Structure 1
Amino acid sequence: MTPWPQTLAAAAALGAGAVAAYALFWPRSTLLGPLVAHGPPDQPRIALTFDDGPWPGATDTVLSVLASFRVPAAFFVIGRYAQRHPALVRRAFDEGHLIGNHTFDHHRTGMFRARDYWNSQISRTQDVIRLITGQTPALFRPPMGFKSPITAQAARRHACRVVTWSWRGFDGSATTPDAIIARARRCVPGDILLLHDGRDPASRRPIGATQAALPGLIESLLARGLQFERLDHLIARIS
């Protein structure tokens, strides 16, 4: 039989690990720093956001769909992609969408990096977006929703508010348009929706499902009486 002290120590270690994982990766966790993951739940408004762009053939299709429905969105762009495809960022900005910071490289191992890395990732992307749009982003979304005191400090240093999400289409992995639309049934007032108009550098997944799902997704949410509002306007309503 395992002695009680060892059992208690093992249970404590497991509990500490679970708390750490929750704090680091759960998008609504504020244990490691302030963030916004949801708008006011008592108003029928939601915000649509896209990560990992700009991506030719995807971002431009998304923009055309949004224009046809007159739906605003926020695009959290990867800095090196924005540097490579500035016209797509400029188009999104000119069409009234919000441009946010999603780091310069979106390295999946970035969570293990130190303060200088995070300061550089945010700063370089701020510079790229400012050069393209003439405005400096005020919102930052960490890759994969990863949070730590270091990322929170880096965001504050660049006057960025950390924003995650409360609903996701799970289009960051292989999926189908029907599956994305079906998940919209779980969307509720105040939700910040996460979709992707590109893919991170380490991914090889196909990216067509999001564009194909977007018209049906928007129609289904509008039919439920939900109104799309630009992300910064939605979170400005938080009391």
Structure 2
Amino acid sequence: MRKLDRRQALWTIGAAGAGLAAGAAPEFLRGTGTPRTRHHLRTVAHTARTDPGYAHGRPLQALRRPIHSLHDLQPAAPPNAVALTIDDGPHPVWTPKMLELLAELGVPATFSLIGVQVTEYPQLVRRIVDSGHQVSDHTVTHPLNLPALADAKIREEIGGAHDRIAQISGVAPKFFRSPGGAWSQRILDIATEHDMICIDWQVDPRDWARPGTTTITDRLLRAQAGDILLCHDGGGDRSETIRALRTVIPALKGRGLTFVAL
């Protein structure tokens, strides 16, 4: 199945309704406990847009193509690293369960967030960041036909989610993932204008289709060093994903692989 079609059944129901360190978050991802005032949020949003390197103290080097492997990133990830990415949240039921599991197993992840849900569940967005995880822009409404949209609409989808995440969490997303893995040069250009690196994946267990815990587990266990793994906490019942990861994460660690956030 082509990536563009991989979540069509799920999202036609209505999507709008619903650095590298293993276990340790960079300083800019950690919660400070300081209340976020309107002035603070405006300042963060402005700084994120005008100085994309503010969080790291250096400019972000945005790539002109989506990355499928940690080996594509600079600086390079540890040679035995894998990255877990969690898409389509935040979700009021499954995101907390995912965060609890990751905390229990000591694993950082990258959450690709949908803008409408960022606005609906701001406390979960802040919890993701305060827990030491990375955040990624996944558009405002998750349109699977993003490449076919008008230029203004693509800008609204990408830029709108970027700004919502920055304003609510205090962290500007450094990564963008197109819904369904649907890419075009225009999408790459607009993401780059927002100083975001476009990310794809290497291992897709198709957990969104709920094929069963055993199937999801078997597919994820195929991961090799450098792979980016795709899972979901939004879009429906994710109990199978949670159960699968409870087995997969210790198993991959047992093979000597280290989990990193992008």
CA contact (8 A) 2:90 2:114 kept: yes
In structure 2, the partner of 1:190 is: 226
User: Which of the numbers 122, 134, 156 marks the counterpart of 1:120?
Assistant: 156
Does residue 37 (structure 1) correspond to residue 46 (structure 2)? The answer is no
Question: What is the match of residue 87 of structure 1?
Answer: 123
Which residue, 125, 142, 164 being the options, matches 2:200?
164
**C-alpha displacement at 1:229, in angstroms?**
0.9
Residue in 1 aligned with 2:44?
none
User: Partner letter of residue 210 of structure 1?
Assistant: T
The CA distance in 1 between the partners of 2:229 and 2:128, in whole Å, is: 18
Matches within 5 A, 1:24-173: 33-40=64-71, 43-173=79-209
Q: CA deviation at 1:156?
A: 1.3
1:86 maps to a residue whose letter is P
Could you tell me which amino acid in structure 2 is paired with residue 137 of structure 1?
P
Shift of 1:42: 8.0
Q: More displaced, 92-101 or 123-132?
A: 123-132
SS in 1 for 2:229: strand
- The root-mean-square deviation of aligned C-alpha atoms, in Å, is 2.0
> Of the candidates 253, 257, 262, which is equivalent to residue 222 of structure 1?
253
Q: What SS does the corresponding residue of 2:79 show, helix, strand or coil? A: coil
Equivalent pairs: percent with the same residue? Answer: 34
Q: 1:207 to 1:185 in 2, by over 3 A?
A: closer
Q: Which amino acid aligns with 2:183?
A: K
Report the equivalent of 1:234: none
Normalising by structure 2, we get a TM-score of: 0.72
Asked if the contact 1:180/1:217 (under 8 Å) is kept, the reply is: no
The Cα offsets for residues 66-124 of structure 1, whole Å up to 9 and x where unpaired, read as 00011000000000011100111111100100011000000223332121111111111
Count residues in correspondence: 199
TM-score (ref. length: structure 1): 0.78
How far residue 153 of structure 1 moved from its aligned partner, in angstroms, is 1.4
Once the two structures are TM-superposed, the CA of residue 195 in structure 1 deviates from its matched residue by 0.3
Give the distance between the partners of 1:125 and 1:168, measured in 2 at CA.
Answer: 24
Q: d(CA) in 1 for partners of 2:185 and 2:96?
A: 35
**108-117 or 122-131: which moved more?**
108-117
Gaps of 5+ in 2: 6-63, 72-76
- 1:58–1:198: 8 Å Cα contact kept in structure 2? yes
The amino acid of 2:222's aligned partner reads: R
The code of the aligned residue for 1:189 comes to A
> Match of 2:153, SS?
helix
Contact kept? 1:115, 1:154, Cα under 8 Å: no
Provide the secondary structure at the position in 2 that maps to 1:52: strand
Runs of 5+ consecutive residues of structure 1 not aligned to the other structure: 1-20, 26-32, 200-204, 232-239
Deviations 1:108-165 (A, max 9, x none): 2333212111111111111111111112111000000000011111111211110111
Per-residue deviation, 1:176: 1.2
Aligned counterpart, 1:5: none
